[in-house]
A and B are shown apart, each in its own frame.
Chain A
């Protein structure tokens, strides 16, 4: 099992550009989430999904879109990048409500100039 994978590892964007951060898991987990991590602020939930076709907003959803067309994939789209979106982004998955343990991907370090 590869676990949770994320691509790319690093990305530099210019203000206004759009891009998609990829996240995939091969553990057949129902739940997937996206977080951003900023210095001194811990991890903040952006969007989450409880199954294919079901997504919902977390604490800081503005400027981001998600979709969950398959159990394995949960991409995060930045619609029009802003410097405030410079951060490290982590994707996580968990089996479901009965087993809530989350497994994190390696992260994507995004810089918006």
Chain B
């Protein structure tokens, strides 16, 4: 099955700086890559996603890049704010059955 690795596990940045979280996947058949934000005690919420036929996608301060050849994708958050503090998960979806495999999460702390 698919194996998704995520780094780093913890990340601290100063408010206004950028944050980058990286994930790799193993199954070349994976074709959809969402990123979720989870605040303490809450459910995961989708923040951005990218399909395998697209190399980059941006939504305001958040962007995701995908390198299919190297099988890695990254989340970029610019101009970080304290409310960006949360745990972020990447995931890869294998087309058959729409199964999702998640990374182990990155705990992001934005220091005011």
Residues of A near any B CB (own CB < 8 A): 31, 33, 35, 40-45, 48, 50, 56, 58-59, 90, 92, 94, 96-97, 100-107
Contact = CB atoms under 8 A, between A and B. Distances in A.
Contact of B100 (A40, A41, A102, A106): A102
A100 B46 contact: no
Interface of B: 1, 6, 9, 32, 34, 42-46, 49, 89, 91, 93, 95, 97-105
Contacts of B93: 100
Greatest chain B CB density within 10 A among A43, A45, A50, A101 is at: A43
Given A42-B89, A100-B32, A31 B49 contact: no
Contacts, number: 57
B43 A96 contact: no
Contacts of B46: 101-103
Contacts of A35: 102
A42 B103 contact: yes
Given A97-B98, A100-B32, 20 more contacts: A31-B98, A40-B104, A40-B105, A42-B104, A43-B102, A44-B102, A45-B99, A48-B99, A56-B97, A59-B101, A90-B44, A92-B100, A96-B98, A97-B95, A100-B34, A101-B34, A101-B46, A102-B46, A104-B45, A106-B43
Contacts of A56: 97
A107 B97 contact: no
A90 B91 CA distance: 15
A44 B105 CA distance: 12
Contacts of B102: 35, 42-44
B44 A43 contact: yes
- Top 6 closest pairs, chain A to chain B, by CB: A42-B102, A104-B43, A42-B104, A43-B102, A31-B98, A100-B32
Nearest to B89: A42
B34 A43 contact: no
A100 B43 contact: no
Contacts of A50: 97-98
B98 A94 contact: yes
